[in-house]
Amino acid sequence: MADLLLPQANGPQERDASRRLEGPIHAERHIRIICVGAGASGLLMAYKLQKHFNNFSLTIYEKNPAVAGTWWENRYPGCACDVPSHNYTWSFEPKLDWSSVYPPAKEIYDYHENFARKYGLFQYVRLNHQVIGAYWDNHRGGYDVRIKDTTKGTIISDHCDLLINAGGILNNWKWPAIPGLKKFRGTLLHTANWDDSVTLDGKHVGLIGNGSSGIQVLPAIREKCSKVTTFIREPTWVSPVQGLEQHVYSQEERQKFANEPNSLLNYRKEIETGLNGQFGIFLKNNQVNIETHEYMLGQMKEKLGNEYLESKLIPEWSVGCRRLTPGVNYLESLTKENVEVVYGEINEITERGCLCDNGQEYPVDVLICATGFDTSFKPRFPVVSDKGENLQDKWAADPQSYLGVAAAGFPNYFIFLGPNSPIGNGPVLSAIEAQADWMCKLIDRLQTNNIRTFSPKEKAVQDFIDYKDWFMTRTVWADPCRSWYKPRADGPVVALWPGSTLHYIECMNDLRLDDFDVTYTGNRFAWLGNGYSQTELDDTADWAFYIRDHDDDAPLSTAGRRKLLSKSGTQVGRQMVNFTGKQEDPATPAPKESRL
């Protein structure tokens, strides 16, 4: 009879399914997982798998000689996180001894490296190994993965049931597309590929770019350089730091965090609440957005104190259309005597420096390109589906994901911080945790059922994209600004979630399996096994666990579970907080009727 329930056991999945018939309900099959990247997301996934699963194997292939991803790669002067340090940690893994509110990048690297060591995660990591291709194997199921050993130059192969891309967004740096870059005879640097051996002391330095890295570099190098010429192509809103001013923690403060129960927890919660309260900034015609615009306009004018710079640097588009860029001492640096601001396009890089659209050449000794990354969401290597489709091609022009974590038509493939994840909506590490937990829930289904493949339905993805596009029209992100959030100024917003970070966390609490195409190895109910429960195999378990004195069931409704999870009713009623620190009425006008 078993041969009617399962196909002939020609492969590992079929053999696992056959064994499941002889075991109890929910017998776990072995899952082989490959993760691309040992940055923050990859290390978190290793931690979650190690904590919650038993019958699995995991290999994380990391192209760099160290873990922590972008925090190992970015070492330029002034590099730091623009989120308060005590909230740039995993929710469950605080750090007592941050040096300051916005510490240097090295401390953030150390946090993730120490996290990996504390929990023994290096056992899963293979450094200096770069994934160069993943191809679905229709016979075995799963992906055949090709990996380059970057120290030896050799190519190896591996296979997995499940492929997780944790390669990140901001780690594929690029030179600016300016003619003549290779002609330059001085020292050429990129902020994401910094050469620590180069000294800037007494040099005339050219700085291209006024994004996040350019804004951090200028104040960090200005005093040691004889002169800095900064080339700015377009205006940008330079905001105060998000939620807290820069502050070096005293020894007394650190001791208080370490010794007083709940002191650090309450401090972290207070900051996170403030960060979560800023979502109204991004909604058009919202009082929070209007007051934030007025506040930041006043701040920039006060710090610049120069009508020419104000006319060139203050945008006409809304605050938040581009990523809010906190700038500690950046605007003040632009007004210093040894800083020259050149506004406009660079037509060409010459042997001596930059030739700009005003016809003038600006010679420099060192040229720093703070020009960012390739922020397209297509994978850095071929990912080929069971139908032979390459995700690089499918996402080349318009990347469309399922809730930021999966791609239609690509079975058993997860993505961290994929298209339309909440990377600029609020606390990003909290969103990564939500993604990891969601993945674990689906991995559990894959492991305890006769599931062979799962992938989001094309219609489910299209419905999500339709909703996202509708929602974005209500936000400042749709304003005509050039931003890495979208492929062009008037283009669709592909990098952000249509809602707040808390909105995303609630969305990802549950699986919507009706959104997936699922295939099975034989009979989908073979996981019922030999008729016994897992409880009956555990002689230490309570075989009458459901008999009790009163109804203590956890909530069964979505609303009930949300209230329990968020500890509803435990806090004093609060109003929304905007970027200026003012409190606002959370009530918003009812949305117009949607055509969705």
Q: Which of 485, 520, 555 is the last residue of a domain?
A: 520
> Stretch 121-145: mean pLDDT, rounded?
98
**Residue 242 pLDDT grade (very low, low, confident, very high; cuts 50, 70, 90):** low
CB 167 within 8 A of CB 101: no
pLDDT at 195 over 70: yes
Mean pLDDT in residue range 72-93: 93
**For residues 188 and 179, what is the distance between their CA atoms, to the nearest angstrom?**
14
- The closest of 240, 238, 215 to 228, measured between CA atoms, is 215
**Residue 11 structure tokens:** 């492969």
In a domain, 348, yes or no: yes
Tell me if 282 is assigned to some domain: yes
pLDDT band at 575 (very low <50, low <70, confident <90, very high): low
Residues 265 and 362 in one domain: yes
Q: List, for residues 468-481, the tens digit of each pLDDT value.
A: 999 999 999 999 99
Last residue of a domain, one of 483, 498, 520: 520
Determine the pLDDT at residue 593.
35
pLDDT score, position 64: 96
How far CA 339 is from CA of 456, 510, 547, in Å, comes to 52, 53, 75
Together in a domain, 137 and 214? no
Between CA 48 and CA 210 the distance in angstroms is 37
32, 142 Cβ separation under 8 angstroms: yes
59: tokens are: 């290999």
Are 142 and 256 members of one domain?
Answer: no
Tell whether 34 and 165 lie within a shared domain: yes
pLDDT one-digit tens code per residue, 320-356: 999 887 788 899 999 999 999 999 999 999 999 999 9
Residue 81 in any domain: the answer is no
Q: How far apart are CA 223 and CA 336, in angstroms?
A: 10
The pLDDT tens digits of the residues spanning 383-409 come to 999 999 999 999 999 999 999 999 999
* Beta strand extents in 62-208 (DSSP E only): 125-126, 129-136, 143-149, 155-160, 162-165, 187-190, 204-208
Same domain for 348 and 464?
no
Residue 499 in domain = yes
Average pLDDT, stretch 419-424? 95
Which of 489, 520, 551 lies at the terminal end of a domain, its last residue? 520
Counting residues of the chain whose pLDDT is more than 70, the rounded percentage is: 93
Reported as a pLDDT band with limits 50, 70 and 90, residue 46 is very high
- Looking at the fold, whether 245 and 380 belong to one and the same domain comes out as no
Residue 5 has pLDDT above 80, yes or no: no
Q: What local confidence, expressed as pLDDT, does residue 589 receive?
A: 40
| Of 565 and 362, the one with more pLDDT | 362
Question: Does any domain span residue 589?
Answer: no
Tell whether 560 is covered by a domain: no
Task: Give the whole-angstrom CA distance, residue 144 versus residue 162.
Answer: 10
- CATH code, domain with 250: 3.50.50.60
Residue numbers of the domain that contains 207:
181-369
pLDDT score of 14: 65
Non-local (6+) Cβ contacts of 298 within 8 A are none
* 221 contact partners, CB below 8 Å, separation of at least 6: 77, 78, 200, 205, 207, 228, 368
Within this chain, do residues 345 and 273 fall inside the same structural domain, yes or no?
Answer: yes
332 with 410, same domain?
Answer: no
Give the pLDDT of residue 510: 92
Q: How many domains does the chain have?
A: 2
